[in-house]
Amino acid sequence: MRNFWSRIDFWNTGTSGSTSRSTSRSTNTTKSTTTTFSTSKSTTTTFSTSRATNTTTTFSTSKSTTTTFSTTRSTTTTFATNQSTTTTFNTSTATTTVFSTTTVYETSRSTTTTFNTSKSTTTTFNTSTATITAFTTTFSTNRSTTTTFSTSKSTTTTFNTSTDTTTTFSTSKSTTTAYTTTFSTTRATTTTFATTRSTTTTFNTTRSTTTSYGTTVPTSISTTTTFATSRSTTTTFSTQKSTTTAYTTTFSTTRSTTTTYNTSTTTTFNTSRSTTRSTITTFGTSRSTTTVYTTATVYATSRGTSITTSRSTNETSGTSRGTSIVTSRSTDETSSTSRGTSRGTSRSTNETSSTSKGTSRGTSRSTNETSGTSRGTSRGTSRGTNETSGTSRGTNTSTVFAANTNTAENTSTQTNTLTVFAANTNTSESTSSVTGTSTVFTANTNTSENTSQNTTTNTAFLANTNTNTTRQTGNLGTYFEGEGGTVGGFNTNRSTVLRNTSTDTLTNTGTNTTGTTNTNTTASLTSFASTSSSSQSFVCFEFIANTYYGTSVSSGVPAVGSNVYAQNNTTFPLAAGWYGATSAAGFAPDTRFRITGSSGQVQTVQSCPSGFSDRRLKKNIRQYGKSNNGINIYLFEYIDEKYGKGVYQGVMADEVEHIKGAVTEMANGYKSVNYGIKEIDVEFKKI
Partner 1 sequence: MFDESLIEEKEGVNFVIEKTNGHNPEGQAVVYSKWINKANPSYDIRKNFKHEGEVFAGDCDPCNDGQYEDLPTIYSKFNWNTSTVLVMGLYLGVLPQYIMDNKSPYVLDVIDSDQELIDTVTWLDSNINVIKSHPYAYEPDKKYDIIICDLWCDPQYITESHETTLWNTYKDHLNANGKIVIPVANKTLN
Which residues are at the interface with partner 1 (CB under 8 A)? 82-85, 532-538, 540-543, 545, 575-578, 587-588, 594-595, 608-612, 640, 642-643, 666-668
Given a contact cutoff of 8 angstroms between Cβ atoms, the answer to whether 244 and 76 are in contact is yes
Q: Which is nearer to partner 1, 490 or 538 (CB)?
A: 538
Task: Indicate the residue among 341 and 535 with the shorter CB distance to partner 1.
Answer: 535
Nearest distance, CB of residue 613 and partner 1, angstroms? 12
The minimum distance between CB 78 and partner 1, in angstroms, equals: 13
85 vs 486, beta carbon nearer partner 1? 85
Give the nearest distance from C-beta 622 to partner 1 in angstroms: 23
Q: From the CB of 540, what's the least distance to partner 1, in Å?
A: 4
Taking the C-alpha atoms of residue 486 and residue 500, their distance in angstroms, rounded to an integer, is 44
Alpha-carbon span 368 to 424, nearest angstrom: 11
- To partner 1, the closest distance from the beta carbon of 565 in angstroms equals 16
Shortest distance, position 130 Cβ to partner 1, whole Å: 24
Rounded Cα gap, residues 197 and 234, in angstroms: 8
> Is the CB of 247 or the CB of 670 nearer to partner 1?
670
In this structure, the chain runs to a length of 687
Smallest gap from Cβ 617 to partner 1, in A, equals 9
Least distance in angstroms from the C-beta of 610 to partner 1: 6
Angle, vertex CA 343, rays to CA 341 and CA 349, nearest 5: 90
Are 263 and 223 contacting, i.e. CB atoms less than 8 angstroms apart? no
Q: Output 402 or 544, the one with its CB closest to partner 1.
A: 544
Q: Is 495 exposed, middle or buried (0-12, 13-18, 19+ CB in 10 A)?
A: buried
Which lies closer to partner 1 via its Cβ, residue 540 or residue 631? 540
Burial class (CB in 10 A: 0-12, 13-18, 19+), 628: exposed
SS3 state at 508? strand
Alpha-carbon distance 662 to 667, whole Å?
A: 16
Give the nearer residue to partner 1 in terms of CB position, either 491 or 672. 672
Report the SS3 class of residue 616. helix
DSSP state of 531: P
**Closer by beta carbon to partner 1, 223 or else 527:** 527
Q: Which is nearer to partner 1, 321 or 645 (CB)?
A: 645
Amino acid at 572: F
Shortest distance, position 534 Cβ to partner 1, whole Å: 6
Q: List Cβ neighbours of 500 (8 Å cut-off, separation of 6 or more).
A: 368, 396, 398, 426, 428, 468, 469, 470
Collapsed DSSP state (helix, strand, coil) of residue 396: strand
Establish how many alpha carbons lie within 13 A of residue 139's alpha carbon, considering only the half-sphere containing its beta carbon. Answer: 19
Residue closer to partner 1 by CB (options 105, 538) is 538
Three-state secondary structure call for residue 394: strand
Nearest CB to partner 1, comparing residues 325 and 575: 575
Pairwise CA distance, residues 372 & 376, whole Å: 13
**Smallest distance, partner 1 to C-beta of residue 180, A:** 40
Q: What share of the chain is helix, strand, coil (3-state, %, to 5)?
A: 0, 60, 40
**Smallest distance, Å, CB 588 to partner 1?**
5
- Residue 149 or 638 having the CB closest to partner 1: 638
* Rounded Cα–Cα distance for residues 266 and 248 (Å): 57
Closest separation between CB of residue 686 and partner 1, Å?
A: 13
Pairing outcome for strands 499-518 and 430-444: parallel
Q: Are 562 and 595 in contact (CB under 8 A)?
A: no
> What is the pairing mode between strands 414-418 and 430-444?
unpaired
Write the burial class of residue 201 (CB in 10 Å: 0-12 exposed, 13-18 middle, 19+ buried): middle
Minimum distance from residue 383 beta carbon to partner 1 (Å)? 15
Q: Which is nearer to partner 1, 400 or 617 (CB)?
A: 617
Closer to partner 1 by Cβ: residue 29 or 82: 82
User: Minimum distance from CB of 653 to partner 1 (Å)?
Assistant: 14
Q: What residues form DSSP beta bridges with 579?
A: 593
540 three-state secondary structure: helix
d(CA 564, CA 559): 10
Q: How far apart are CA 553 and CA 564, in angstroms?
A: 9
Q: Which is nearer to partner 1, 269 or 636 (CB)?
A: 636
In Å, how far are 54, 76, 547, 550, 552 from 521, measured between CA atoms?
Answer: 104, 63, 19, 14, 16
| Residues 356-391 as b or e (16 or more Cβ within 10 Å = b) | bbbbbbbbbbbbbebeeeeeeeeeeeeeeeeeeeee
CB of 301 to partner 1, least distance (A): 26
